[in-house]
Amino acid sequence: MAHRKRRPLGCVSRSRHRGTVLPIVLLIAAMMLGTSAAWFENSLASARAAANARDYLQAFHAADSVLTLCARSVVTATATDDGAASMPSAASGEPAQWKIESAFEAGAVAPVSQWPGSLRPPQCLIEAWRLATRADARAFLLTSRGFGRTRESQVWLQMELVIESGKVERHWRRVAAKPF
C-alpha cells in the first residue's frame, strides 16, 4: 500500500484557490481607476467654475470702475455751465439706446484704454433724460459694460444719476441679461 503524506488540518490545497487572486486584484484596480476618474472630473469641474468666477469678477470690477468714472465725469460736467452743453440732450421717458447694439457701440466711451486681463476695455454710455415729476432736475442713465477674458463673459451695470440743486442722487442697478 502506498503511503500518502498527510497534510495538517489548517492547510488548504493550492489547487482549490488557484485563479481567485486575479479577479480580486482586477476588482480593486477597477475601483481605484473609477475613483481616480471621478476625482479627475471633479477637479476639472472645479477648475472651470473657478475660471468662470474669475472672469465674472474681472468683468464686474471693470464695469463698476468705469461706471464710477462716468458718474464722476457727469457730475463734474454738470457742475459747470460749459460741461452742461457737452452732455447729451435729454429725452422724455427712460432712455433705451443702451438696448440697441449699434447705438451702444456708437455712443459708448471707454474712459480707460485697457483693463488688465480683459478682452476689451470697459465701456460706458451716458444718456440724459427728463424726469416728469422733477422739472429742475437733470437725470442721466449711465450704462457700463465690462469684459472678462472672453466676449461671453460680460457684466452690465447701470446707474440712474439725478442732479438737482447741487445734490446728487445715485440709484444703482445690475442688468440681469445682455440686452443684445
Instruction: Give the pLDDT band (50/70/90) at residue 15.
Output: low
Q: Tell whether 50 is covered by a domain.
A: yes
Give the pLDDT confidence of 65-97 residue by residue, as tens digits: 999 999 999 999 988 765 455 556 666 788 999
Identify the weakest region by mean pLDDT among 9-13, 52-56, 166-170. 9-13
4 in any annotated domain: no
Q: Tell me the average pLDDT across 33-48.
A: 96
Does a structural domain hold residue 8? no
Question: Does a structural domain hold residue 35?
Answer: yes
Q: What is the pLDDT of residue 44?
A: 97
pLDDT value of residue 136: 87
Question: 163-180: per-residue pLDDT in tens?
Answer: 998 899 999 988 888 898
Classify residue 48: in a domain, yes or no: yes
Average pLDDT value over all residues in the chain: 88
Q: Is residue 95 part of a domain?
A: yes
The pLDDT of residue 17 is: 67
Distance, CA of 90 to CA of 92 (rounded, Å): 7
Q: What pLDDT, on a 0 to 100 scale, did the predictor assign at position 155?
A: 95
Q: Looking at the domain assignment, is residue 109 inside a domain?
A: yes
Number of domains in the chain: 1
DSSP string of 70-124? HHHHHHHHHHSHHHHHHSPPPEESS--GGGSHHHHHHH-B-SSS--TT-SS--EE
Residue 2 has pLDDT above 90, yes or no: no
Mean pLDDT of all residues in 42-59: 96
pLDDT number for residue 167: 94
Parent domain of 148? 30-175
Determine the Cα–Cα distance for residues 66 and 122; give it in Å rounded to an integer. 7
Tell whether 139 is covered by a domain: yes
